[in-house]
Amino acid sequence: MAGKALWSGRFSGGMDDSMLRFTSSLDVDSRMAFYDIMGSLAHVRMLRACKILPEEDADKITDSLRKIARKIEDGKFEMDPLLEDIHTNIEVQLTKSIGAVGGKLHTGRSRNDQVATDFKMYLRDAALNCVQAVNTLIKALQDVARANGDTVLPGYTHMQHAQPVTLAQHLLAHAFRFGRDADRFLDTYERMNKCPLGAAALAGTTYPIDRKMTSDLLGFRDPTENSMDSVSSRDFVTELAFDASMVAVDLSSLCEEIILWSTSEFRFIEVDDRYSTGSSIMPQKKNPDIAELVRGRTGSAIGAVVTMLAMTKGLPLSYNRDLQEDKRPVMDSLQMVTDSVYMTVKVVSTMRIDASRMFEVTNMGFINATDLADYLVVKGVPFREAHGIVGATVRYCIENKTTLDNLTLEQFHKFSPLIDEDVFQTIAVKSCVERRDSYGGTSPPSTEVELAISMQDSVRREDDVRLKDQILAGCWEKLLKG
């Protein structure tokens, strides 16, 4: 049995079932049902105001759309799988409800601008959800940082001991990364917040429409400026996919450290039992599975960006059916990233920190070597010469199985007569941390400044999201209630 398209006048036969299955997007674009109703409500209100539709017809369409919206909200809207997408399903239901007048809804618009508008509205909300999720993780990191301003652990470069840092600064480094990720979503929101509705198929419309009105009704900043660009460009989709991939990459970095820190070799943290698993054969195992899964799912987020770039790289203007495939990758990516962020929040906020173990490991090796070099510089030795002196001292320690802290003053004098008793206070690990009080440094006072800045940024993002949510909620209320 062949399926029928809503606009079948051009064709003498129906669509083959295999064609319908291959071209259907209903399983994906059904997520945009609410936004499709909102776009249609705004469109019909504009058609009424511009006297393109008679008031009676516009009112019938509006009342029926609102009833469909309630069905969608209550989960009672039944979709016909023989219809290719959510937009057709809603239009068919509308026509069944009020007859031929329902077909007037499509006056002055095309499926091309309709879908672009629906997708932008869907993605605006998805972007704000991502900002809220990431901001929640940032606040969890801030909470742990606030409680660990004096907790010292090794700072690494090349996964080798580099210099001692506080756990607060280490976690705030992640927080600032995630802060930029959240801000990228907000930046993308601003760029994409222009309304394509009214661009029609590609060239605009001959009807005397008011695109500014529909833009305002749907909470957009302005209408898009070029009708061909409006229906063909998906840079906003690619940009959001990239934003999500950056969150995933930064999550993967954090989760990699959680995995390392929970090993027997590190023993810096213990992941809470609720977010760990055991082994089917080794009873001693406690696996940080959440962190591993988040790390593993990064690949799919990166894949979404590659999919969008590959899909759009050779498309001629304007709309092409390839663009039907733009939804699943970014929808799934944004949802996966949001879910991963919230799970990581639970891991971070419940992990147990072994501060004494961190400090014990910090005292291994030669993590205070740079401070010894700086000590010599203060005594008047050029830094490059001081670097060589300390390198020779470290080599001596390795050969004699000792550390810089355990050398005697006499042993230090073998390498430089300028070293005095005050060197022992200078190279003490806690002193190394406390003296790094430059802006952005790891000393507790510097870290307190960083924490305050990070918290201010979080409040700013919360306020921005709240304002945007209020604007959109106000638009939906006006469209649904009149």
The span from the CA of 244 to the CA of 238, in Å, is: 10
- Indicate the helix (H) or strand (E) that contains 345: helix 327-350
pLDDT at 285: 78
pTM of the model: 0.92
pLDDT at 81: 86
> CA neighbours within 13 Å on the CB side: how many for 78?
1
Query: Lowest mean pLDDT: which of 72-81, 112-121, 278-287, 390-399?
Result: 278-287
For residue 422, CA distances in Å to 126, 165, 434 come to 58, 22, 16
For 141-175, how does the pLDDT look when each residue is reduced to its tens digit (9 = 90+)? 999 999 999 999 999 999 999 999 999 999 999 99
The span from the CA of 38 to the CA of 46, in Å, is: 12
pLDDT at 195: 98
Q: What's the mean pLDDT in 413-435? A: 95
77 pLDDT higher than 50: yes
For 294-340, how does the pLDDT look when each residue is reduced to its tens digit (9 = 90+)? 999 999 999 999 999 999 999 999 999 999 999 999 999 999 999 99
Q: What's the mean pLDDT in 272-292? A: 86
Other beta carbons within 10 Å of 138 = 26
Tell me what percent of the chain is helix, strand and coil, each rounded to the nearest 5: 65, 5, 30
Higher-pLDDT residue of 19 and 265 is 265
Q: Are 427 and 372 in contact (CB under 8 A)?
A: yes
pLDDT at 164: 96
For 201-221, how does the pLDDT look when each residue is reduced to its tens digit (9 = 90+)? 999 999 999 999 999 999 999
Catalytic residue among 158, 264, 280, 438: 158
The span from the CA of 363 to the CA of 154, in Å, is: 8
User: Among this protein's residues, is 279 annotated catalytic?
Assistant: yes
Other beta carbons within 10 Å of 203 = 12
379 pLDDT higher than 60: yes
Judged on CB neighbours under 10 Å (0-12, 13-18, 19+), 396 is: middle
Residue 2 pLDDT class (50, 70, 90 cuts)? very low
280 pLDDT higher than 80: no
pLDDT at 13: 63
Residue 282 pLDDT class (50, 70, 90 cuts)? confident
Kindly state the percentage of the chain with pLDDT values over 70.
96
What are the tokens at 86? 């959510």
The span from the CA of 176 to the CA of 168, in Å, is: 12
DSSP string, 304-332: HHHHHHHHHTTPPSS--GGGGGGHHHHHH
3 pLDDT higher than 60: no
Q: What's the mean pLDDT in 411-435? A: 95
For 191-204, how does the pLDDT look when each residue is reduced to its tens digit (9 = 90+)? 999 999 999 999 99
For 223-235, how does the pLDDT look when each residue is reduced to its tens digit (9 = 90+)? 999 999 999 999 9
Q: Are 88 and 7 in contact (CB under 8 A)?
A: no
Residue 348 pLDDT class (50, 70, 90 cuts)? very high
pLDDT at 1: 32
3-state SS class at 285: coil
User: Among this protein's residues, is 170 annotated catalytic?
Assistant: no
Which residues sit opposite 269 in a β-bridge? 353
What are the tokens at 29? 């674009």
DSSP string, 53-93: S-HHHHHHHHHHHHHHHHHHHHT-PPP-TTSSSHHHHHHHH
- Nearest alpha-carbon partner for 163 in 450, 352, 441, 451: 441
The span from the CA of 265 to the CA of 262, in Å, is: 8
pLDDT at 8: 56
pLDDT at 11: 60
At 253, the amino acid letter reads S
Q: What's the mean pLDDT in 266-286? A: 87
* DSSP assigned state of 150: T
For 31-57, how does the pLDDT look when each residue is reduced to its tens digit (9 = 90+)? 999 999 999 999 999 999 999 999 999
What are the tokens at 30? 């059904």
